[in-house]
Amino acid sequence: MRLRALLDTDALGLRLLGGEDELDRTVRGVMTTDLRDPSRYLSGGELVLTGLAWRRDASDTEPFVRLLVSAGVAALAAGEAELGDIPDDLIAVCAKHRLPLFAVNESVAFATITEHVVRQVSGERAGDLAAVVDRHRRMMTSGPAGGGPDVVLDLLGSDLDLRAWVLSPTGRLIAGSKVSGPALPADVCAKLAAEQLAAARTGRRGPHRLALGGSTYSLFPVRGGGRPTQGARDVRETVLSDWLLAVEADAGDWPDERLDLLQGVTQLIAVERDRRDAARTVRRRLAQEVLELVQTGAAPAEIAARLRVAAPVLLPGLGAAPHWQVVVARVEWEGADIEAGPVAQALLEEILVDPLTTGPEPSDRIAVAHSGDEAIALVPLPAVSAEHDGSESGIHADVLLEAVRDPLSAGLDDDGRVTLGVSAAVHSAEGLRGALEEARHARRVAAARPGRVCAAGHQELASHVLLLPFVPDDVRRAFTARLLDPLRDYDRRHRAELIPTLEAFLECDGSWTRCATRLHLHVNTLRYRVGRIEQLTSRDLSRLEDKLDFFLALRMS
């Protein structure tokens, strides 16, 4: 379609501010952005919609417009909702670079323009896809008439014979068309998500392709406009929150027209993703208010009153006095200036979906706030009988990350970490402060472990485990080096396996017979090795103090 056709459509509320000689340009797609540098998401021919949030002052205008022109966009449309009249400097710079500029009346939503462009472009290139608009409109409504992203995937299946699914960054199946057949197996979803995350970290342009089980899948990112994606300067700010569209087909030889159509489909799905994200706003605000009360030492009665308001919102029908659990998460990137709190918040919301799924809208129970660099989830649980502490029906750290570890590890690459801590369940406002501290301690325990994705629960806060994460790194290194380096050096020179022998001896509680049996050694050989350990370290493994020192050194190494 041509820019002139957009200008002639009264319902779109577009007013031409410059570029009258360029109105015969072809529009191949549409993108809404407030990124200061959106070039990595542009392929050329787009109508770019912006609310001008990227513009702090006039000096930002020239770099932004130059990036759009270099990417080959068709035109820029700026909304008047935030700033009113479009700034004169933007009009002048667009005229200088021959980039057509439109003003969008504040009464017209960007979604309306997006729908129109996608309908026109898709209709020209893929036959009768006018049903997209009607189904998309229903997708945006609440209640039984709304179909979510499934209706768009149904259209791909019925009109283009494409089997497609929408997946979360953790590999959770969000939607699939009725013509797609059986749902994708969980392990396939996890591998597809891991491939997309790994490819996103490398900066490779999509669609990315992966062969699995005799099928080839093409992967298209679905990027929402909500935080933390909006304003992101680094791919790491969004890589752990973007959805993806997986199509069972090899897009490597597709014509540009079909690739453009799939890009339009991802934009429609992104609208639904933003709607779901917006639906979490109330729950986020409630969690933030409760968290602030807990951290500022508010009276239990005040916290309890806020919880009574939060409970029916977080989980309708649960009752006014549920039990609560606290989950704390932190995302850390090496050498990156990234606001980690919102990133951790979006990721924790996604991680908690699967363990809490109870119906068609899996996010109903999720309330996550962020404070500094950490995200904090307030999780309501059904009230249980007095003889139980509630933890059995809650979240367990040992299974929380089981299904998402591989995709997240791919997205974190070699410079990121995700650590989580889970508290025990508490039954009143008085217990929330302790639950928060318990979850934070558990997260520190997880952070002391090796690996990119780690979690720990309240059950693991035994005395020595609780203390180890708080020992300064230099003290830990000095302590372990003093005890274990002589043994490592000896093993390296003589292949004597003193370290494995020491570990087995301690795990067998100093039993010569059980340890020898476990290591398949004669008892005399075991006694020789233990004697060598004692000689090299000047320690006595018959003494409890020395056994404990070795045990701690091995745990910290």
**pLDDT tens, 84-142?**
789 999 999 999 999 999 999 888 888 889 888 877 776 554 443 434 434 444 444 43
Find the angle CA(104)-CA(106)-CA(108) to the nearest 5 degrees: 70
pLDDT digits (tens, 9 = 90+) for 498-529: 999 999 999 888 889 999 999 999 999 999 99
The pLDDT value given to residue 138: 46
Q: Does 228 share its domain with 296?
A: no
C-alpha–C-alpha distance, residues 206 and 29, integer Å: 16
- pTM equals 0.58
C-alpha–C-alpha distance, residues 260 and 264, integer Å: 6
pLDDT digits (tens, 9 = 90+) for 16-72: 999 999 998 988 888 898 898 988 888 888 999 999 989 989 999 999 999 999 999
Among residues 302, 325, 298, 442, the alpha carbon closest in space to that of 381 is found at 325
Give the end of a domain, one of 443, 469, 495. Answer: 469
Q: Does 369 share its domain with 290?
A: yes
Among residues 269, 280, 176, 291, the alpha carbon closest in space to that of 220 is found at 269
Give the end of a domain, one of 418, 451, 469. Answer: 469
DSSP, res 234: S
Q: Does 332 share its domain with 462?
A: yes
Give the end of a domain, one of 414, 447, 469. Answer: 469
The pLDDT value given to residue 247: 92
Asked if residue 273 lies in contact with residue 243, where contact means CB atoms within 8 angstroms, the answer is yes
Does residue 127 lie within any of the structural domains? no
- Whether residue 364 is predicted with pLDDT greater than 70 in this model: the reply is no
The pLDDT value given to residue 358: 40
In this prediction, residues 244-267 reach a mean pLDDT of 85
The pLDDT value given to residue 62: 95
Q: Does 303 share its domain with 409?
A: yes
Q: Which domain holds residue 528?
A: 473-556
Residue 366: CB atoms within 10 A of its CB come to 22
Q: Does 530 share its domain with 551?
A: yes
C-alpha–C-alpha distance, residues 300 and 427, integer Å: 12
Does residue 79 lie within any of the structural domains? no
Q: Does 258 share its domain with 309?
A: no
Asked if residue 491 lies in contact with residue 456, where contact means CB atoms within 8 angstroms, the answer is no
C-alpha–C-alpha distance, residues 360 and 358, integer Å: 7
Asked if residue 201 lies in contact with residue 211, where contact means CB atoms within 8 angstroms, the answer is no
Residue type for position 123: G
Instruction: Characterise 496 by phi-psi region: left (phi > 0), alpha (psi -120 to 50), beta (else).
Output: alpha
Does residue 4 lie within any of the structural domains? no
Q: Does 308 share its domain with 444?
A: yes
Asked if residue 169 lies in contact with residue 242, where contact means CB atoms within 8 angstroms, the answer is yes
Give the full edge-to-edge strand order of the sheet including 368-371: 368-371, 374-381, 323-333, 416-422, 453-457
Does residue 99 lie within any of the structural domains? no
Q: Residue 144: CB partners within 8 Å, gap ≥ 6?
A: none
Number of domains comprising the chain: 3
Q: Does 271 share its domain with 309?
A: no
What three-state secondary structure class fits 320? coil
C-alpha–C-alpha distance, residues 241 and 197, integer Å: 10
The tokens of 387 are what? 């003889």
